Amino acid sequence: MDRDDMAGVDITSGSEMNTKVAQAAGEPGVGDEIGALRAVMARLLLEEDDLTKLVTGVSRLTAAIVQAARLQRLIEGPPADPLSEAINLAWVEFERQQAAPAREETVR
């Protein structure tokens, strides 16, 4: 995505933003927040030239997006079908295995 791709992005006025925030407050979920984080990620990737700041920003935004997605899954409740449940269990196991080497290095 480059600056030309962002040309069509609608910038909402303050009063429109207040209306949207008020509407969103009554709806469960964090879909809008995830969308906002993705927009910030796109802007960061387009505008940040300092590699250190870019890597730090991408890392922080990715962590925030993952946390928001987990929160969204909690809000939505358990999956309705067995395939989704199996995928979720596999994901939890994968994360557990990824965290294990990091804990072993900390102990050393």
pLDDT reported for residue 47: 94
Residues in the chain, pLDDT under 70: 1-14, 17-18, 20-27, 78-80, 101-108
> Are residues 52 and 100 part of one domain?
no
* The pLDDT of residue 12: 53
Question: Is the separation of the CB atoms in 52 and 7 below 8 Å?
Answer: no
Tell me: do 55 and 68 sit in the same domain.
Answer: yes
Domain match, 35 and 86 both: no
pLDDT of residue 90: 86
The total of structural domains in the chain comes to: 2
- Say what the pTM is: 0.49
Do 73 and 85 lie in one domain? The reply is: no
Looking at residue 77, what is its pLDDT? 76
Rounded Cα distance between 59 and 67, Å, is 12
Which CA distances in Å does 96 have to 64, 71, 92, 100? 19, 18, 6, 6
State which residues form the domain around 98: 80-108
Q: What is the pLDDT, as a whole number, of residue 87?
A: 82
